[in-house]
């Protein structure tokens, strides 16, 4: 008997209400709206409200995905949340989401995964393995971030890039029939590059002044943007080609390419490297900014809801982030 295949039966997303324009940023740091839009393609990003947590964004996106799938939260047998900005050190944000969406009675396992901007594609790959092995039947996979909480608003090289948001999918195990579903996933990492993109500070570094409870251990995003840019294009290009080769498909077979939304120029350079026309690239970076683990599912949900992605389409998800980590998922919609 063939292994079950994981099919996406619903997508959802959520953006906080507050918008921050480039003009507003130009009042905070030495930059211009023109510099930001021409170097990154970003025009605005969303900022979570005071008290609005990653789990709130994740729960909203998850509920919308469940509604789209026509799935009761009580039918879920696994919840995975990809985030680098969890509500708490522990427990997992996925546990808080389980309660917020009313799925706690399932007693289904929940966990977070942390692969920064690659997080959602890593989580999708893990969920796919759970379904293929027969361990899970209905899985909620979420990418959610409140990345603006870890920005240094005095650092013009990073604070202009990121935004908050969440995206989610519901996966269902299907057996037999056509090839619709996740065809393959590929995951990679190279820990040689930790310093090029990281958050300063951290739990295991401890509190510098012993038990000073007032000390704020939360660090800031620190990035060598130029080097990250080059590595992102190289890695996302390679993992896209790997996905197509593994399935005996070519770039001409791809209907929609959804790369991590870091910078419009990275998306364009990656598409060019892989030889995918820009008309097939889903771009949301202009109105979302870089939302880290939320970026791919946010873009996916937008393209599903506006009717671009239709049944039978070949969709290639591709991401790159701190670690470095990078991954792809090839999906027959
Ligand atoms: O999510 C996954 C990881 N993140 C990424 O993939 C982001 C990757 N990197 C990038 O998107 C780009 O490297 C940035 C948008 C961060 C920077 O763009 P760049 O074209 O690589 O600029 P640069 O770092 O080479 O800097 C060029 C100049 C510098 O000035 P000098 O040294 O030439 O005088 C910077 O100081 O632009 C300056 N600069 C700015 N100027 C105005 C840097 N940030 C700003 C700013 N406003 N916000």
pLDDT at 261: 98
- pTM of the predicted model, to two decimals? 0.97
Please check whether residues 315 and 214 belong to one and the same domain. yes
The domain in which residue 205 lies consists of 181-332
- Do 71 and 45 lie in one domain? The reply is yes
- List 60, 81, 198, 290, catalytic entry: 290
Q: If DSSP codes are grouped into helix, strand and coil, which group holds residue 164?
A: strand
Domain count, the chain: 2
Give helix 264-274 / helix 33-40 axis angle, nearest 10°: 20
Catalytic residue list contains 224: no
Same domain membership, residue 251 and residue 148: no
pLDDT in tens, the chain (333 residues): 688 999 999 999 999 999 999 999 999 999 999 999 999 999 999 999 999 999 999 999 999 999 999 999 999 999 999 999 999 999 999 999 999 999 999 999 999 999 999 999 999 999 999 999 999 999 999 999 999 999 999 999 999 999 999 999 999 999 988 899 999 999 999 999 999 999 998 888 877 665 555 545 578 999 999 999 999 999 999 999 999 999 999 999 999 999 999 999 999 999 999 999 999 999 999 999 999 999 999 999 999 999 999 999 999 999 999 999 999 999 999
Closest ligand 1 atom to Cα of 158: 16
Q: What confidence score (pLDDT) does residue 215 get?
A: 47
pLDDT of amino acid 285: 98
Could you tell me whether strands 314-321 and 256-259 are parallel, antiparallel, or unpaired per DSSP bridges? parallel
Are residues 195 and 98 located together in one domain of the fold? no
* Pair (144, 232) in one structural domain: no
**Ligand 1 neighbour 35 (Cβ under 6 A):** yes
Domain end residue (candidates: 151, 174, 197)? 174
Active site (annotated) includes residue 226: no
Are 72 and 157 contained in the same domain?
Answer: yes
Mark whether 122 and 33 lie in a shared domain. Answer: yes
Bridge-based pairing state of the strands 181-189 and 325-332:
antiparallel
Q: Are residues 133 and 234 in the same domain?
A: no
Question: How far is 9 from 116, CA to CA, in rounded Å?
Answer: 25
| CATH number of 315's domain | 3.40.47.10
Rounded to the nearest 10 degrees, the angle between the axes of helix 54-69 and helix 295-305 is 30
Are 26 and 160 contained in the same domain?
A: yes
Q: Is 39 in the pocket of ligand 1 (CB under 6 A)?
A: yes
Look at residues 174, 200, 230 and tell me which one is the last residue of a structural domain: 174
Q: What angle do CA 146, 114, 313 make, to 5 degrees?
A: 85
C-alpha 38/C-alpha 40 separation (Å) is: 6
Question: Is the distance from CB of 319 to CB of 297 less than 8 angstroms?
Answer: no
Q: Which of 34, 114, 226 to mutate to test the pocket of ligand 1 (most atoms within 8 A of CB)?
A: 226
Active site residue 188: no
Q: Do 51 and 132 have their domain in common?
A: yes
Q: Which candidate in 22, 60, 81, 117 is catalytic?
A: 117
Write down the pLDDT at residue 218.
73
The answer on 78 and 28 residing in a single domain is: yes
Q: Answer with the one of 153, 174, 195 that is the final residue of a domain.
A: 174
Do 150 and 245 lie in one domain? The reply is no
Q: What is the pLDDT of residue 248?
A: 98
**3-class DSSP state of 298:** helix
- What is the pLDDT at residue 217? 57
Q: Which pair of structure tokens corresponds to residue 27?
A: 């009042």
């Amino acid at each position: 008997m063939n292994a079950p295949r994981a099919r996406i039966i619903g997508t959802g997303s959520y953006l906080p209400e507050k918008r921050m324009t480039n003009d507003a940023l130009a009042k905070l740091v030495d930059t211009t709206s023109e510099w930001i839009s021409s170097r990154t393609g970003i025009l605005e990003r969303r900022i979570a409200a005071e008290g609005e947590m990653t789990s709130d964004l994740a729960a909203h996106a998850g509920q919308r995905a469940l509604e789209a799938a026509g799935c009761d939260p009580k039918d879920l047998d696994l919840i995975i949340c990809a985030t680098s900005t969890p509500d708490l050190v522990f427990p997992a944000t996925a546990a808080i989401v389980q309660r917020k969406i009313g799925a706690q009675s399932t007693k289904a396992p929940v966990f977070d995964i942390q692969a920064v901007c690659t997080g959602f594609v890593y989580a999708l790959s893990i969920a796919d393995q759970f379904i293929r092995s027969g361990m899970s039947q209905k899985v909620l996979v979420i990418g959610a971030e409140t990345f603006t909480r870890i920005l240094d608003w005095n650092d013009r090289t990073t604070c202009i890039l990121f935004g908050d948001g969440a995206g989610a999918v519901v996966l269902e195990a299907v057996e037999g029939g056509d090839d619709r579903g996740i065809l393959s996933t590929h995951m990679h990492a190279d820990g040689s590059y930790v310093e090029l993109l990281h958050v300063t500070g951290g739990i295991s570094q401890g509190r510098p002044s012993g038990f000073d409870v007032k000390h704020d251990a939360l660090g800031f995003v620190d990035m060598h943007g130029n080097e990250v840019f080059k590595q992102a294009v190289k890695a996302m290009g390679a993992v896209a080609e790997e996905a197509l080769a593994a399935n005996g498909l070519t770039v001409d077979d791809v209907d929609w390419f959804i790369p991590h939304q870091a910078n419009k120029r990275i998306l364009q350079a990656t598409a060019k490297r892989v030889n995918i026309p820009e008309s097939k690239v889903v771009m949301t970076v202009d109105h979302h900014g870089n939302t880290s683990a939320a970026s791919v599912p946010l873009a996916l949900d937008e393209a599903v809801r506006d009717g671009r992605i239709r049944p039978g389409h070949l969709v290639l998800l591709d991401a790159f982030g701190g670690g470095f980590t990078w991954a792809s998922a090839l999906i027959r919609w």
